[in-house]
Structure 1
Amino acid sequence: MKIIILEGSPNRNGSSNMLAEQFCRGAEEAGHTADVVDAAHLDIHPCTGCIHCGYEGPCVQKDDMEKIRGRILDADMVVFVTPLYYYGMSAQLKILVDRFCAFNSSIQRRGMKSAMISAAWNSDDWTFDALEAHYRTLVKYLNLQDMGAVWGRGCGTPGMTQRSRYMKEAYELGKSLK
């Protein structure tokens, strides 16, 4: 299976990317291929809502999204990776997801699998409620098959994350994919 991992952390060596790396390791050991997109460090402009794309055509904006579109549509699975910022995904990942507007129907027809990986400083039981609801909505809207999530509570620093159970959970999620 071809997996595209959309990383939305501005911190290349931060907690959410550490979890994504473990997921990737497990998935590759299970025989899958992983294509990592560092969305936070690409030139991707916000969707302007102009609808010039007609929800399925080329976007009028000429940026790095042109390179990513084909990679997403070529994948069998998409993994959303983000630190928790004010109880939602990072702006860097949200900009990329908003640009799905120009190829929603193509994603919906693919019937792709998906997963979510996130890390947060907070460890309250409600920490991920809003992000989890957003992810579930994306799964429904884009006709994705949810394969699971890693909700890294108490992963505020790379050291905290390294010592957490979530490193193993991320690896096991990747390894479990069929």
Structure 2
Amino acid sequence: MKITVLTGSPRRNGNSTYLAEQFIKGAEEQGHEVFRFDCAFRQVEPCRACNRCGMDGPCISNDDFQELRPHLIGADMVVFATPMYYFGFSAQMKRVIDRFYAINGQIKGAAKRAALLMTCADTSPKEAEPIRLHYRTLMDYLGWTSVGEVVAPGVWTADSVQRTDYPQQACRLGKSL
């Protein structure tokens, strides 16, 4: 299976990035091919809503999304690994998701799987609901099948996720595919 993993943390060794690494480890152990795209460290312009792409063509912005584009289209699975920022995806990841518009005709309705790996400082389960709802709405719109969510609350400081069971959950999810 071809898997594209999108990481959204602006910290190179952030907690959500660590979850992504553990997921990748599990998936690669099972022989899956993984392409990782670190949204925060790539140049991806926001969608300009110019509609030049027509939802199924080249984007007017010539940036690093061009490298990601074929991996998203060809992926059997897309993984969203992000910290929760003000109850949503990180801005760096949201920029990339907004650019899905240019490939909408090739990814909407495609038989793809997806997963959400999310970290947040909050410990209240209700605080994670807005991002989970956004993710599930995205899955419904695209017609993709979610195969799992690993939501790691209470992990704010660097490396704090490593003292929890969430990395093992992410690795197991990767192995389960």
TM-score normalised to structure 1 length: 0.96
The CA deviation string for residues 13-42 of structure 1, in whole angstroms up to 9 with x for no partner, is 010000111111111112211111011111
Q: How many residues align?
A: 177
1:18–1:158 Cα contact (<8 Å) kept: no
Deviation, 1:156, is 1.1
Where does residue 136 of structure 1 map in the other structure?
136
Cα deviation, residue 12, structure 1: 1.1
CA distance in 1 between counterparts of 2:159 and 2:42 reads 27
> Is the contact between residue 7 and residue 81 of structure 2 (CA under 8 Å) also seen in structure 1?
yes
The amino acid of 1:170's aligned partner reads A
- Asked if the contact 2:5–2:36 (Cα under 8 Å) also holds between the matched residues in 1, the reply is yes
Hey, what does 2:85 align to over in structure 1?
Answer: 85
Counterpart of 2:171? 171
- Structure 1: runs of 5+ lacking an equivalent: none
Aligned to 2:21: 21
Residue 14 of structure 2 aligns to which amino acid in structure 1?
G
Q: RMSD of aligned C-alpha atoms?
A: 0.9
Equivalent residue of 2:80, what SS?
strand
| Match in the other structure for 1:30 | 30
Verify: 1:149 aligned to 2:155, yes or no: no
Q: CA deviation at 1:157?
A: 2.1
With normalisation by structure 2, the TM-score equals 0.97
Name the structure 2 match of 1:100.
Answer: 100
Deviations 1:68-90 (A, max 9, x none): 10111121100011101001000
Alpha carbons 2:14, 2:159 under 8 Å: kept: no
Q: Structure 2: which 5+ runs fail to align? A: none
